[in-house]
Structure 1
């Protein structure tokens, strides 16, 4: 079942500036760094991930990405594919917490489907 939100990713231009804003202005704390371009913030419920993607194209694309929990990424991948859902990868890809795929809803909004293995 793919009906549990498990992470919220905020795409940022500059991770250092984003961390300063989220910690000094909004009072979040950094939980963990995953290399130079990804960090998670301490949050009691849904983890919030800051991911540096470089220059924002002012209004193009999406800057907040919903992550939905998958218990079995392979079977969910195959089920979504059989239903004609637009999947951006040919197979699940690795990520720091496990594996993921990205799909698009009918409006073109991207949604991550994540399986936690680490």
Structure 2
């Protein structure tokens, strides 16, 4: 088996599209089923699908599935995301077993992790 898609429930499709495409720079794919479903282009496609309400996750306490994105520099990513008004979970890079990272919440409360791997 292999992962073929990552599905992310979002309570406001327009806010989600703004976050993922404008703030994170992920290209929008098919909008054929907008506003119920929109595809984001990635090595593993990300499908945004409409739900009724946002989630309230307490990071590192609640269970969740996170979208993990590789970044060159956690520090630079934090600066860029702060300038774009992204809701960061960590204002400074934090270590994880393979390098440094930060995390943010999308407008629906879903977690996105930004991972700087050690070489």
* TM, length-normalised to structure 1: 0.48
Structure index of larger Rg: 1
* TM, length-normalised to structure 2: 0.47
Identify the structure with the greater strand proportion.
1
